[in-house]
Chain A
């Protein structure tokens, strides 16, 4: 019987009278990987913050091996051998890998304040080697891919002597090859005797990796057990608290023959080559591919945010030339970007300001001076917020930064709904939001199509696309490598098309793309 390396006993925490965690108890056995799953707001982040010494629990206690564990600051957690690999990497892009690893514990040259560079270089090289990362320790982090950066984070964790490693949404920005490499490394860590907690919305990955699973809902532990006893259905139904027979709403409407968006021969050297596609009215067209296959770049070209050298784009039959985002919006297009915090929302603005942003000209008088019709704008925003079930305080006062991920995404979609677009481009619209909100977004997409919009849906989750779309196109290395009608949907051929061009492995053991 493996001894428990970490134990949570009756941990509770409230914020302003709202219960974030209630009587959470479970244990992490040594050399095990524990999958921690739950919707956003279920309490995972709060629990991890308590573990990491960022917050103190109101009641309950933690035990590390046999001793009590009550960290008062993050440094205590690090000192106790607990390391966090967060979603947002805490690396300094202007420093080298070695500098990053040793940033607050540089070895000195004797008693002088000077850094012993030889030691740092050697130790860093050794760590990188153990992770199969053939990079020089002097490489600036700036130049690393997301996958490499994450491995540097892991190296950082190992270098502080961590025995317990917590992974928080580690695969969000990784390619399939990088994800596989991560899993290999996790296996290696397990063999070395490290214990891990793995938090992810990717339930399939959790099933593959976890020895044990803990499900949180509304701050409570609602299910625990060995990983092999779990199925996706069980995980989802426990997370959401109700059986979900249907994750995806039925596609009732059928796409019409009318074409709303046509792309001919679109090319930009080094990015995409000879893209041809057609989007119909009332159609949901999926665009699948591995990360880095060029889908986001293509979407940005369609929306006038990136230039292209050759080809034509026709929106509603009208040729678009020298376009910018404003022109595209005027032609009835909408674009939900993959990074809502940086490009989708004004974090410091209210829900009303955010939802109204793209449609402002439509709510102003046409003659100079173009005065805003505040009341109409406010009413339209409230209507949209209600129809989308955006959960926030009063819309005119709540700031976007205080909303949960799912509600934030709904605000972004709501913003575009205000202009009633005919062409909707969505790039990873369900990334980083919990299952309940995902379901709502799927319904919204379904409704939009039923009302006649053409939707180009970019996603890295194949099940999502297969459940929602009428057709799926596959991109790889900047080219369209396959197209499938709904009747032809099958995982293998689609994945096959997505991997085209990635077969060759370079000498370093990394997949051909960078």
Chain B
């Protein structure tokens, strides 16, 4: 009899546990919970990961990546993709670097096509002036947005597939960045600029504030403006959007422009931290960006996406990389783990969709 009672309690408890597990799984904040659990688990083994130094490390990796993912989010919601974000980073890094640098070694840069025109041993005409940093940053943002505009026009006006357009962009603009500097890194950037990457208020770096503003603005746009609703509409059914009066071409162009803008912002943050203008900046980041977006739950089919999801995806991704390097595992474990995580995340998404579908009463 006691056995039967214990059995009942166990069955009841198991059922309850399953129900709770199911609710957590289906919850929108699942990746956040996962990240917290992951962090908590790691803390048990390595308390120093919660130390100020490591948190700062995590943080400085998170914010620029989040900027990229926010930009990619707009394009993904539209049902497209932007493969050119990393090349935009490289190009803007180089252009900003060239405008802001205070010294260029002729041995390295004399072969650059801009030598003599814009560049000299003392840098650009702006170098040393008070305007160098603000104008440099402005130029970076402008270039990033312009490339995005071109991508958007090709996709919206000429109806070219986004994959191919942004692939070609990626080839072209990273090639351009390398061409302009003949593969050399630009150094000797002014303090005013590099401080963006290293300084902050107390423990909180400047990049946090920049990306905070970016994130809040993105959230406002998506949830509270007409343009945001239009993004989702175009992503869900562009034909319906057209008939319903949505200016679809304009919306698509703006989406890609925003992606380019965000890539430029990320470039500013990365370049400032690295204190250099690099034509190879972000070369391996593209898959990280898409991976983080997918993990966070932003659909590759379009029509779905949230700023919070981008945040959770990036959080988990960076925590993962951080844990791997903290554990001093050999470098080749990183791609294996990242790949497995992406597969698991996608599998989770499939399972969640299937569970959710059953909940709907026809």
* A/B contact in complex, CB under 8 angstroms: yes
A342 within 8 A of B: yes
1/0 per position for A131-170, CB-CB distance to B under 8 A? 0000000000000000000000000000000000000000
1/0 per position for A334-349, CB-CB distance to B under 8 A? 0101000011111111
In the complex, what residues of A have CB within 8 A of residue B23's CB? Answer: none
Return B240 CB to nearest CB of chain A, in Å: 5
A328 CA / B303 CA spacing, docked (Å): 26
**B243, A369: Cβ atoms closer than 8 Å:** no
A353-B229, A360-B226, A402-B362 given; A329·B245 CB < 8 A: yes
A14 CA / B246 CA spacing, docked (Å): 41
**A349, B232: Cβ atoms closer than 8 Å:** yes
A15 within 8 A of B: yes
**A344, B229: Cβ atoms closer than 8 Å:** no
**B225, A305: Cβ atoms closer than 8 Å:** no
B224 within 8 A of A: yes
**B220, A343: Cβ atoms closer than 8 Å:** no
Return A308 CB to nearest CB of chain B, in Å: 17
**B236, A325: Cβ atoms closer than 8 Å:** no
A364 within 8 A of B: yes
In the complex, what residues of B have CB within 8 A of residue A370's CB? Answer: 225-227
In the complex, what residues of A have CB within 8 A of residue B220's CB? Answer: 369, 371
Per a CB cutoff under 8 Å, which of B230, B240, B361 touches A342?
B240
B247 within 8 A of A: yes
In the complex, what residues of A have CB within 8 A of residue B239's CB? Answer: 342-343
**B233, A305: Cβ atoms closer than 8 Å:** no
A370 CA / B245 CA spacing, docked (Å): 17
Per a CB cutoff under 8 Å, which of B225, B247, B303 touches A349?
B303
Of A329, A342, A343, most buried by chain B (CB within 10 Å of CB) is A343
**B229, A372: Cβ atoms closer than 8 Å:** yes
Return B252 CB to nearest CB of chain A, in Å: 15
**A371, B224: Cβ atoms closer than 8 Å:** yes
Return A418 CB to nearest CB of chain B, in Å: 11
**B229, A15: Cβ atoms closer than 8 Å:** no
**B303, A348: Cβ atoms closer than 8 Å:** yes
A348 CA / B233 CA spacing, docked (Å): 10
In the complex, what residues of B have CB within 8 A of residue A357's CB? Answer: 229, 233, 240-241, 244, 246
**B245, A326: Cβ atoms closer than 8 Å:** yes
In the complex, what residues of A have CB within 8 A of residue B246's CB? Answer: 326, 357
Q: Count contacts on A: residues with CB < 8 A to the other chain.
A: 37
**A345, B225: Cβ atoms closer than 8 Å:** no
**A305, B242: Cβ atoms closer than 8 Å:** yes
In the complex, what residues of B have CB within 8 A of residue A335's CB? Answer: 243
Per a CB cutoff under 8 Å, which of A15, A358, A360 touches B362?
A15
A1 within 8 A of B: no
A369 CA / B218 CA spacing, docked (Å): 13
A346 CA / B362 CA spacing, docked (Å): 18
**B243, A349: Cβ atoms closer than 8 Å:** no
Smallest CB gap from B217: residue in A: A369
A358-B245, A372-B224, A372-B225 given; A346·B233 CB < 8 A: yes
Return B76 CB to nearest CB of chain A, in Å: 15
Smallest CB gap from B360: residue in A: A402
Return A45 CB to nearest CB of chain B, in Å: 11
A2 within 8 A of B: no
Q: Count contacts on B: residues with CB < 8 A to the other chain.
A: 24
Per a CB cutoff under 8 Å, which of B230, B243, B247 touches A343?
B243
In the complex, what residues of A have CB within 8 A of residue B233's CB? Answer: 346, 349, 353, 357
With contacts defined as CB atoms under 8 Å apart, how many contacts are there between chain A and chain B in the complex? Answer: 85
1/0 per position for B193-216, CB-CB distance to A under 8 A? 000000000000000000000000
In the complex, what residues of A have CB within 8 A of residue B361's CB? Answer: 16, 18, 393
B351 within 8 A of A: no
B283 within 8 A of A: no
B237 within 8 A of A: yes
A329-B245, A346-B233, A402-B360 given; A361·B240 CB < 8 A: no
A415 within 8 A of B: yes
A342 CA / B244 CA spacing, docked (Å): 12
Smallest CB gap from A404: residue in B: B362
Smallest CB gap from B227: residue in A: A370
**B229, A337: Cβ atoms closer than 8 Å:** no
A145 CA / B246 CA spacing, docked (Å): 31
Per a CB cutoff under 8 Å, which of B224, B227, B244 touches A325?
B244
**B226, A325: Cβ atoms closer than 8 Å:** no
A399 CA / B237 CA spacing, docked (Å): 14
Smallest CB gap from B229: residue in A: A360
In the complex, what residues of A have CB within 8 A of residue B230's CB? Answer: 360
In the complex, what residues of B have CB within 8 A of residue A324's CB? Answer: 247
Smallest CB gap from A41: residue in B: B362
Per a CB cutoff under 8 Å, which of A16, A325, A371, A393 touches B243?
A325
A359 CA / B233 CA spacing, docked (Å): 13
A374 CA / B228 CA spacing, docked (Å): 13
In the complex, what residues of B have CB within 8 A of residue A325's CB? Answer: 242-245
**A337, B237: Cβ atoms closer than 8 Å:** no
**A415, B229: Cβ atoms closer than 8 Å:** no
Of A344, A346, A369, A371, most buried by chain B (CB within 10 Å of CB) is A346
**A343, B240: Cβ atoms closer than 8 Å:** yes
A361 CA / B246 CA spacing, docked (Å): 10
A324 CA / B224 CA spacing, docked (Å): 26
**B303, A361: Cβ atoms closer than 8 Å:** no
Q: 17 interchain pairs (CB within 8 A)? A: A325-B242, A328-B245, A329-B244, A343-B240, A346-B233, A346-B236, A349-B303, A357-B229, A357-B246, A358-B244, A364-B226, A369-B225, A370-B226, A371-B224, A372-B224, A372-B229, A399-B360
Sample of 19 more A-B contacts, CB < 8 Å, known A325-B242, A345-B237, A402-B362: A16-B362, A18-B361, A326-B245, A326-B246, A335-B243, A337-B243, A342-B239, A343-B242, A344-B243, A346-B240, A349-B303, A353-B232, A356-B229, A357-B244, A371-B224, A372-B224, A372-B225, A372-B229, A374-B224
B residues whose Cβ falls under 8 Å from a Cβ of A: 220, 224-227, 229-230, 232-233, 236-237, 239-247, 303, 360-362
A residues whose Cβ falls under 8 Å from a Cβ of B: 15-16, 18, 303, 305, 324-326, 328-330, 335, 337, 342-349, 353, 356-358, 360-361, 364, 369-372, 374, 393, 399, 402, 415
Top 8 nearest A-B pairs by Cβ distance? A329-B245, A346-B236, A326-B245, A358-B244, A357-B244, A360-B226, A343-B239, A343-B243
